[in-house]
Amino acid sequence: MSKLKIGIYKHYKGQKYKVICLARHSETLEELVVYEALYENKISKFWVRPKEIFLAKVEIDGKKIKRFKFLEK
């Protein structure tokens, strides 16, 4: 699987996020991406998602695109 770059990403739905770091699940040791919403989000400012899912592609209108696209450091 691809390496994760620290920096700003754009979610396929349009919002931007800042990847802060990689963390490990304390029991499974699964790699988790820790990231921050760069917009007003009433639910939470900080999020975690398994690295594999963060870097995965999604299918939109029959076309596979990255769930999160790297923009800049």
Name the pLDDT band for 3 (thresholds 50, 70, 90).
confident
Name the pLDDT band for 2 (thresholds 50, 70, 90).
low
Cα→Cα distances 22→19, 28, 62, Å: 8, 14, 31
Per-residue model confidence as pLDDT tens digits over 11-59:
999 999 999 999 999 999 999 999 999 999 999 999 999 999 999 999 9
Query: What topology is assigned to 7-72 in CATH?
Result: SH3 type barrels. (2.30.30)
Give pLDDT, residue 1.
46
Coil/strand/helix, residue 52? helix
Q: pTM of the full predicted structure?
A: 0.88
